[in-house]
Amino acid sequence: MPKRENWNPELEKEFKEAIRKYFDGKIDSALGKENPLEVGNRLAELLKSSEQDIVEIVTPRAVKKWASPETLLLWEKFLENKQMVSELREIGKSIANSMRPLAGNNFAIWVTKVLNRAFQDEALPLLAATSGEIKQNLNRTFDKYGEETQGLKPDIDIVVVKTPILKPLAVISAKTTLAERVMQTISWRTYMQTLPPEICDIKLLLVTAWETFSGDSANRQRVQQLDGVYVCNSEVLEWGKIKIFSKILNDLKAML
C-alpha cells in the first residue's frame, strides 16, 4: 500500500523528534528519582507504562501516512476519541496475531500442494504431507531420543517421503519470514547429529516466502548449515544453498 500525498519527509522528521523527546524524557525522569541500576531493573515496566502515550503519538502519524484523501477527514474525527484510539491498538494487534498463523499455516499447505502437483506431473515416487500418519510416525521417531536434545527437535511443517514405502527423505520448515526464528531452524543440524545414521540421512530444508537474503548477510551465512533453502520470491539473491523455489524439484529428485 503506497504512502499518501499528505505525508512528507518533514512530517516524518517531526514524528521521529517527538518519539525521541518522549523516550528521553521518560528515562531522564526516572533517573532523576532513583538509583540508575534500580531504574535498569524495571526498564520493562517503564516500557509497558509508555504504551498508551506512544499509541497517541504513533496513531495520528499512521493515519496521516496511510489514509486516503477520501477517508482522511473521517480518520481525523476518529482521532478525537481517545478511547477509540486506545482500542484501535488492541484491534490491530488482534488482527496481526490472527493473520500471522493463518498465513504461516496456509503457506505450508500451499507449498505442499505445489510440490505434490509437480511430483504428479513428473511421475515421481514422492509425496509431501503436512499432517497425518506420515508426519506422526516421524514425530514419534524423533521423540524416542534424549530429553536433553528435545529442544532442538526440527520444526516439522512438511515431510517428503519416497513412495510407496513412505521412507522420509526430507523435512521442510515452511516459514513466511524468518524473523527471529532462523536460529531455531538451523538448530536442526545439531539435533540430527545426535540421531542414529538411518535417521541422520534425512535432509533438512527451509522454504520461505518473503525472505530474499539480499540485505541480510548474517542469515545468508547461517542457513548454509541446512541442506537446502528455497525462496518463493523472484527477488531472491541466490547464493550457496539459497535458491529460487523451483530448483527444489531437482534437489528432491537427487535424493531418490
Residue (of 235, 255, 230) closest to 107 by Cα position: 230
- Where in the chain are the domains? 9-80, 103-255
| pLDDT at site 256 | 87
Instruction: Identify the H or E element spanning 149.
Output: none
Backbone angles phi and psi of 14, in degrees to 5: -60, -40
Residue (of 197, 115, 101) closest to 159 by Cα position: 115
pLDDT tens for 45-92 read 998 899 888 888 888 888 888 888 888 889 888 888 888 888 888 888
| pLDDT at site 119 | 94
| pLDDT at site 51 | 85
* pLDDT above 70 as % of the chain: 86
| pLDDT at site 246 | 93
Q: What is the mean pLDDT of the chain?
A: 83
| pLDDT at site 147 | 55
| pLDDT at site 22 | 93
Interatomic CA distance for residues 71 and 107, integer angstroms: 33
Segment 187-209 mean pLDDT: 78
pLDDT tens for 2-33 read 555 566 888 889 989 999 999 999 999 999 99
| pLDDT at site 124 | 95
- When comparing pLDDT for 40 and 185, which is higher? 40
In the sheet that holds 228-231, the strands lie side by side as 126-129, 158-162, 167-175, 203-208, 228-231, 242-244
Q: CA 113: distance to chain centroid?
A: 21
- When comparing pLDDT for 222 and 254, which is higher? 254
CB within 8 A of 239, min separation 6: which ones?
213, 220
| pLDDT at site 221 | 86
Asked whether residue 121 carries a pLDDT value surpassing 90, the answer given is yes
CB within 8 A of 115, min separation 6: which ones?
126, 128, 158, 160, 248, 249, 252
Asked whether residue 152 carries a pLDDT value surpassing 80, the answer given is no
Q: Reduce the DSSP state of residue 32 to 3 states and report it.
A: coil
| pLDDT at site 184 | 66
The third-level CATH classification (topology) of the domain covering 103-255 is Rossmann fold (3.40.50)
- When comparing pLDDT for 195 and 85, which is higher? 85
| pLDDT at site 64 | 83
